[in-house]
Structure 1
Amino acid sequence: MNNFVDVDERLPLIKSIPLSFQHLFAMVGATILVPKFLGMSPSIALFCSGIGTLLYILCTKGKLPAYIGSSFAFLTAMKFASQHYGVSGMLSGVIAAGTVYIIVAGIIKIAGSKWIEKAIPPVLIGSVVIVIGLSLAGTAAGWAGLLAEKPDYMTILVAAVTLLIGIIGSTYFKGFLGVIPILIAMVAGYILAFIVGVVTPAQKAEILHASLFQLPQFVGPKFNISAIIMMAPIAFVTLAEHIGHVYVTNSVCDRDFIKDPGLHRSILGDGIATIFAGFVGGPPNTTYGENIGVMAITKVYSVWVIGGAAVIAIILSFIGPVAAVIKYIPDPVIGGISILLFGIIASSGFRVLVENKIDFANKKNLVVSSVVIVLGISGAALKFHVGGSEVAISGVALATLVGIILTLVLPEDSKADE
């Protein structure tokens, strides 16, 4: 008997809804941070994440469980474009970035993905997955209040309790409770945040007095060539991260999604989701590592559960009080549980290296893995100017691109002790 819920399995509604809420809670904190930073409506980001995920599921024929949320990679360019060309002008750049994804998906469809398997072998996959997890570690610690010069012990308490409940739940909970430990931990952390005052009186008042029904702030795009030139190239950076996420999901679900439904379908879904967001006023989208972490912990890979989270996100984007509750999920709640989720992603990378019996006596393997990990988590960046704005290739994207180059140019059969 399987001890997991497979991709195509459909659970009873009474079990599926809590599992969907778990995915929603895991991603929503990061998804709404992007529009909050840009002064946009968090509700529109929630709406676009839900529609984008359903479009992604449609493009991948319901065979690849992934949640689509706001991308941080475009943040600097979006802010510059919004200030200089207006939000509508910036949105034309979002559409252009999504179009780049669709073009790349078409190339992969025609040329196949064998070249990807050659360019991204298991040693690189495992190293990139480690980077994806570890590069987010500082973010999680910051949300948890552990990097502040003057620590707020109530913030740290909320993060610690949330993390502890998540650990206990993942380890000891049985039956259905054993597959929703993240949801339980985040709800408990939120309640504690209310009690100890981490949720401010102003936030509480907004939650209590929010209108029952509210329409997300839809904004239409306006063609702007400068915004397009600025934002379209960033799509090549996020493509590397997207491919890394697909490989992480391969490892977690023990499947080869590169072959079925195909990498081109995954990239196509991401691109269409981003284009849709650009037409209605939302930020660019990307697959979310937080939700991969949830699947790794719970062993629930059902695309129906992911789709349920998308539907709930769409509905909640129109309900004022609930949207306000989600908007004000405290950072320490997100940070506490993210310490566990991001760590599990990194651990999945080590699992790839172990299961593929990577030989680190081989100089090529040693060099590729070493360089990728250091570049990925060090904050290293390559910066250049496009359309008057500074664009940076950093983190996962830089590490992956350099790793691919090293993989292609270094000789195969070289032992460190020769």
Structure 2
Amino acid sequence: MFRLLHSADWQLGARFSQFGGKGVRLREARLEALERTLQLAEKHTVDAFLIAGDLFEDNQVEDALVERVLTLFGTHPQLPIYILPGNHDAASGPDSVWQRKAFLNAPAHVHVLREAGVTDLGAGTFLLASPLHQKLSTTDPSLKLVDLAADLPADAIKIGLTHGALAIEAKHQPNDFPIALNAASRAGLDYLAVGHWHNWLPDTDGGRIVMPGSPEPDRFINDASGHVALVEIPGAGQAPQVKRLRVATLDWREILFDFHAAEASRASLAATLAELTPQAAHTVLRVKLTGTATPTAVAELRAWLDTVLTPFLISQLVDKSRIALSAIEQADLQARHPILAQVLADIDRLETFAGGTVATAESQISNSKSEIAELEADGVAALQLADAQALLGTAKIALTQLTPEFFAQLRQTVFQTLQEVSA
């Protein structure tokens, strides 16, 4: 029986610049998760702790961080630690983090696998490593494991270690170190520890390949991150037993609010926030607004959110909603600010044009004579397709390049201007 703890993609030193000064807390959380993982390794009396690439965010991380990590490793001297350079922290030469003085003088139990090779772990168990030496490649890094395994005893436990994207159709890039989905069985491995993607992905190649994901979440879309893999291999040729252990310090959550169902969305949002509030100090929260609403409704919701989001460690509001005026508001805007009213009408018409092909747009325009008549009755000239194409042509912009997000931002800018001139 050989027991190991498999992790990857720590990305220590990640900057999280989108959160400003609060990024410091997110960087600290990754170190806390690493300390918790080392404690779990000792608790489960593992024979080895594997890091399958990207321990660091890049090769430019500060020396103070490198020294802090090695100090942390040093507090667990009985735990054999094996570190594989990934694509973020590739073993790319003298400027790589692995050539820093701290790693060249690392404690004896800390092993950086800078070159492809085999390490004898004792008790008839071998670790076969294929590290990365560059950021991108179309070559499968697990191919080296086939050659490394060829000279090992048939009855030995063989554990592979590499980094790259699993070659799942439509889910990987050709230059992202594509790893064959049968890479473990192809090399005769009992287990292949890989890293690169930040979500937990087990059960590849009959359960012999596992992608544990990032131990500390770093994106709202990675809802299966925050874990490491506890792996038990009963013997050579026997299926590994894999258990997912949560080690994350923080929880990342995203909540959607749709103005098209504002009342139900408000109730659902309030209930979810109430559920999350007890753990608010350990929660990174993003609220995304969608749908169409009046400026008053958007402002009211934002004011409420400013209050209820205060307890959370980090809160982020992403407004993808579309602002629309009621008939009374449109009449008032036309009377007080006719130029801004014309701009909003032009944005609406331009978005109609951008909603399909030219033929579709022309069809839409031919079927909107009543709309044009209403605009002209209100004193607003309707933007014509030919004029829009001429203006965009001068700017070398295609209608198809104009996204819903682009129009949402345009409307936000107009209403911000309206607030300024009305103040």
Normalising to structure 2: TM-score of the pair?
0.22
More strand by share: 2
The answer to which structure has the higher helix fraction is 1
Higher Cα Rg, which structure: 2
- Tell which has more relative contact order, 1 or 2 (C-alpha 8 A, sep 6+): 1
